[in-house]
Each structure stands twice: as structure tokens, then as C-alpha cells.
């Protein structure tokens, strides 16, 4: 499948510096790696952290890519390397001790897409009008939502909005959320973005724009909308399109598949249904999309497989043997009695 990538970063309307960064690298004819990072920590620190992370991730993935390794392991290693590089610079440079960055990365190989992220930069899948959030923010507010202490629609107004639970460059090790493969279909679009977009523009409005045919125009329009809404933060969007974009996109109804988006729309009376119910639906759907069966590759074993237990296997074999013996004996008895 042909992969097209278009991205843009913009300083926004308020900040004095753009601390977001983005990058993309082609790995082979049908594989690409893309990343968006959102830096933080003092003047110059944030932009340096984001650029350093993007640089490191691109370099690492490009130089380690063989097409054979489990992409999820590769993503984990790349994120660890980026974390180490940013942290090293932060520790050894005057005034940069508190710099850090988020990252959201996608590795697409053929029709398979793998994701890794740390922080609150997000990945969405846009498929025939269905706009699905694929990542869960590593933020205090997300944790409060998960614990049922804050409603999703209150998230953006909450005092702890924007406080990260995880980022690159601050601790010796960081655990990214890694997922995939998601099986991409012809015409699918993957959106990676910083919170300068999602904090300013409703998800259903983002999805509406994604119906546009011209990717460069879509990217421009998203940045324009974030700025028009206030542009309080740096804005970064990067879109990957798999194959050819369908002709009938303009007719697609938009369905937002994200708890925050659904709750917001419901709170504003833009949804006819009970948000609780939709939230539940959404959750199961995302799980289906993100946690599809692991790659059937021969060379790698998923890390989360239960350990082989010879004792247990013997027990099952014994059980099957006993069952077969019982059946045979039963048949014999039946035959004799008859």
C-alpha cells in the first residue's frame, strides 16, 4: 500500500517559541516511521528536548530497521534511547535540568501500524468517518477520569489539566504504551498531533476536516482552526494516508470514538444518546482496534505470552488420554451388553 505523509508544526498565537517537533523517515518501499513531540521546560529547553527526541527516534528506527524484528520491541528500544539522550543532555547542561518531552510515534509497515507514546500527544485513526482515539494520555487528569473522579467533559477546565504523568528526559527509564498491529485499510488516515490541536479543536471538527481530499490542505486547515480557537499552545499535526483516499469521503457521517469527544458533544447537546452508553461502546471498540491479535511472525515471541508449563501440559495430555479411554471403555461395555 502506498503511504503518504504530510505534517506541519506551528508556533500558535500566544507562545513565543515553538517547543513542538515532528519528523518522518522512510524505512523501505512500504514502511514509514513518523513522530510528533511536544517539549517542555524553560526557554530553549523544551524545543531542544523535542528536537533531540525526534532526531534520536528517527535515527534509531532507521538504523535498526530490518523488517524482521518485532516492531513493538523496536519502538520500545527507540523510546528508551530517546529518553536517555534527552536526559543526558538535561543533566549536563546548565539551565536545562527540567526539560522533557512527550512523543507519539507510528511505525507503519505494509498495512500494519504500530504505535508508541509517552505523555499527552495523541494518535487517532480516521476510517470512513469514524475517528478513533488510539492512545490514552499519560496525564494526571486522565488518571482522575479513569478513577471516576473527574468527568471527561470537565478535563480541559480542571486545575490539573496538562500535568503529565510520564515524559521523556526526566527519569532514568520510561515505559511507553506500545500497541499494534492495527490493520490499515485502503484510504485510512492516521493522525499524530500535539495537545495544541486537541486542546483547541473538538474531535468531531477535526474529523470533519479529515474528510478533505488534499492532505496538505487538511493539515493547513487543522492548524488554522487551532489558531482561530485561540492558539494558546504550539500546534503540530502529522497525517499518514494508506493507499488512495476514497472518492465518496464528503458523504461520510462523522462518528467520534473517544471518551472526551463523546462526553463534550453530549454535554453540549450535540449528541442524542446517553454519554455513558456511548463511552462504554467506545471503549470496547478501541480495544478491538488496538489490541488485535499479535503478529503471526515466526521470528519473534510476544513478551506477554504466559510461560510454558510442562506440568500443566502433561496434566492436559493425561486428561485427554483418560477421556478417550473412558469413551472406548464405554463403547465396549455398550457393545457387550447389547
Residues making contact with Ca ion (CB under 5 A): 38, 195, 233
CB 188 within 8 A of CB 302: no
Question: Which residue, 164 or 266, is less far from Ca ion as judged by CB?
Answer: 164
In the bound complex, what is the minimum distance in angstroms from residue 82's beta carbon to Ca ion?
Answer: 17
In the bound complex, what is the minimum distance in angstroms from residue 100's beta carbon to Ca ion?
Answer: 12
* Nearest alpha carbon to residue 196 among 146, 241, 160, 230: 230
Question: Which residue, 97 or 161, is less far from Ca ion as judged by CB?
Answer: 161
Question: Which residue, 52 or 61, is less far from Ca ion as judged by CB?
Answer: 52
**69-103 core/surface letters (b: 16 or more CB in 10 A; e: else):** ebbbebbbebbbbbbbbbbebbeeeeebeebbbbb
* Nearest alpha carbon to residue 295 among 132, 110, 157, 116: 110
CB 102 within 8 A of CB 37: yes
CA gap 335, 338 in Å, rounded: 5
Question: Which residue, 14 or 322, is less far from Ca ion as judged by CB?
Answer: 14
Question: Which residue, 10 or 195, is less far from Ca ion as judged by CB?
Answer: 195
Question: Which residue, 74 or 200, is less far from Ca ion as judged by CB?
Answer: 200
- Nearest 5°: phi and psi at 75? -65, -40
In the bound complex, what is the minimum distance in angstroms from residue 11's beta carbon to Ca ion?
Answer: 11
In the bound complex, what is the minimum distance in angstroms from residue 280's beta carbon to Ca ion?
Answer: 30
CA gap 234, 51 in Å, rounded: 14
Question: Which residue, 1 or 140, is less far from Ca ion as judged by CB?
Answer: 140
DSSP 8-state symbol, 127: E
Question: Which residue, 48 or 113, is less far from Ca ion as judged by CB?
Answer: 48
Query: Which residues lie below 8 Å from residue 24, measured CB to CB, with a gap of 6+?
Result: 5, 7, 32, 33, 34, 35, 58, 238
CA gap 239, 244 in Å, rounded: 14
In the bound complex, what is the minimum distance in angstroms from residue 317's beta carbon to Ca ion?
Answer: 57
CA gap 230, 235 in Å, rounded: 11
In the bound complex, what is the minimum distance in angstroms from residue 199's beta carbon to Ca ion?
Answer: 8
Question: Which residue, 14 or 281, is less far from Ca ion as judged by CB?
Answer: 14
Beta 100-101 vs 103-109: how paired, if at all?
unpaired
In the bound complex, what is the minimum distance in angstroms from residue 118's beta carbon to Ca ion?
Answer: 14
In the bound complex, what is the minimum distance in angstroms from residue 15's beta carbon to Ca ion?
Answer: 9
Q: Report the SS3 class of residue 132.
A: strand
CB 154 within 8 A of CB 267: no
In the bound complex, what is the minimum distance in angstroms from residue 230's beta carbon to Ca ion?
Answer: 13
CB 32 within 8 A of CB 3: yes
Amino acid at each position: 500500500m502506498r503511504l503518504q505523509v504530510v505534517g506541519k508544526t506551528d508556533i500558535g498565537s500566544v507562545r513565543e517559541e515553538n517547543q513542538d517537533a515532528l519528523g518522518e523517515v522512510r524505512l523501505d518501499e512500504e514502511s514509514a516511521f513518523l513522530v510528533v513531540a511536544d517539549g517542555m521546560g524553560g526557554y530553549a529547553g523544551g524545543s531542544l528536548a523535542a528536537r533531540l527526541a525526534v532526531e534520536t527516534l528517527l535515527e534509531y528506527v532507521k538504523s535498526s530497521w530490518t523488517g524482521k524484528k518485532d516492531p513493538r520491541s523496536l519502538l520500545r528500544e527507540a523510546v528508551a534511547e530517546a529518553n536517555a539522550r534527552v536526559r543526558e543532555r538535561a543533566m549536563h547542561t546548565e539551565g536545562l535540568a527540567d526539560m522533557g518531552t512527550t512523543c507519539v510515534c507510528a511505525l507503519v509497515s505494509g498495512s500494519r501500524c504500530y504505535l508508541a507514546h509517552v505523555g499527552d500527544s495523541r494518535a487517532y485513526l480516521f476510517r470512513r468517518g469514524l475517528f478513533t482515539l488510539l492512545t490514552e494520555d499519560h496525564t494526571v487528569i486522565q488518571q482522575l477520569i479513569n478513577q471516576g473522579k473527574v468527568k471527561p467533559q470537565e478535563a480541559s477546565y480542571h486545575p490539573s489539566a496538562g500535568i503529565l504523568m510520564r515524559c521523556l528526559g526526566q527519569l532514568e527509564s520510561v515505559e511507553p504504551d506500545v500497541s499494534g498491529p492495527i490493520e490499515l485499510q485502503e484510504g485510512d488516515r492516521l493522525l499524530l498531533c500535539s495537545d495544541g490541536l486537541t486542546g483547541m479543536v473538538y474531535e468531531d471538527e477535526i474529523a470533519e476536516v479529515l474528510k478533505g481530499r488534499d492532505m496538505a490542505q487538511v493539515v493547513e486547515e487543522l492548524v488554522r482552526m487551532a489558531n482561530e480557537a485561540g492558539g494558546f499552545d504550539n500546534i503540530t499535526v502529522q497525517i499518514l494516508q494508506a493507499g488512495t483516499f476514497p472518492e465518496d469521503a464528503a458523504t461520510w457521517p462523522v462518528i467520534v470514538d473517544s471518551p472526551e469527544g463523546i462526553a463534550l458533544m453530549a454535554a453540549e447537546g450535540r449528541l442524542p444518546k446517553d454519554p455513558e452508553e456511548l463511552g462504554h461502546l467506545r471503549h470496547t471498540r478501541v480495544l478491538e482496534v488496538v489490541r488485535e491479535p499479535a503478529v503471526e511472525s515466526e521470528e519473534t515471541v510476544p513478551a506477554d505470552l504466559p510461560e510454558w508449563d510442562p506440568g500443566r501440559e502433561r496434566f492436559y495430555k493425561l486428561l485427554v488420554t483418560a477421556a478417550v479411554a473412558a469413551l472406548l471403555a464405554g463403547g465396549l461395555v455398550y457393545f457387550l451388553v447389547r
